[in-house]
Amino acid sequence: MIKTHWGTVIAERYERIVHGGRGDYVEIAEEDINRKALRIPKYAEWRLAPGWMGKVFYIEHRTTDTSCVKLYEQRRLVDYADYRLGFWYVSVKDVDIDDTSPPDDTIQER
């Protein structure tokens, strides 16, 4: 289970930890995301506009609890990390991972 430091459940499981140019991120499949615990901030709503949806690299989401943890819904590929389209990412520094053991081959470096 992946939770914020305040205990809000973000996801039941994760796919892997991705090591990229901007730090270490937990990769989560769409079906494992707890959308009830997330919101899109007002300042990030422009990413959903028809003219921008195909251009943005990610859609920003924040948890609804006090920690306001940032999650990225990946929409385009980047060259600094092995992010996959349609998956979600959150910094390992912003979450606690409990009882969620991925296979040994889930750590990817770029």
Does this model's pTM top 0.75? My answer is yes
What are the tokens at 66?
Answer: 């006090």
pLDDT number for residue 77: 95
Say which residues have a Cβ less than 8 Å from residue 53's Cβ, sequence separation at least 6: 47, 75
- Looking up tokens 């306001």 gives 68
pLDDT number for residue 54: 83
Please check the confidence at residue 19 and state whether its pLDDT lies above 50: yes
Q: Which residues pair with 85 in a beta bridge?
A: none
pLDDT one-digit tens code per residue, 24-63? 999 999 999 999 999 999 999 999 999 898 899 999 999 9
pLDDT number for residue 11: 97
CA distance linking residue 74 with residue 28, whole number of Å: 10
In contact, 22 and 15? CB cutoff 8 Å: no
Burial (Cβ within 10 Å: 0-12, 13-18, ≥19) of residue 76: exposed
Smallest CA-to-CA distance from 2 within 17, 19, 21 is with 17
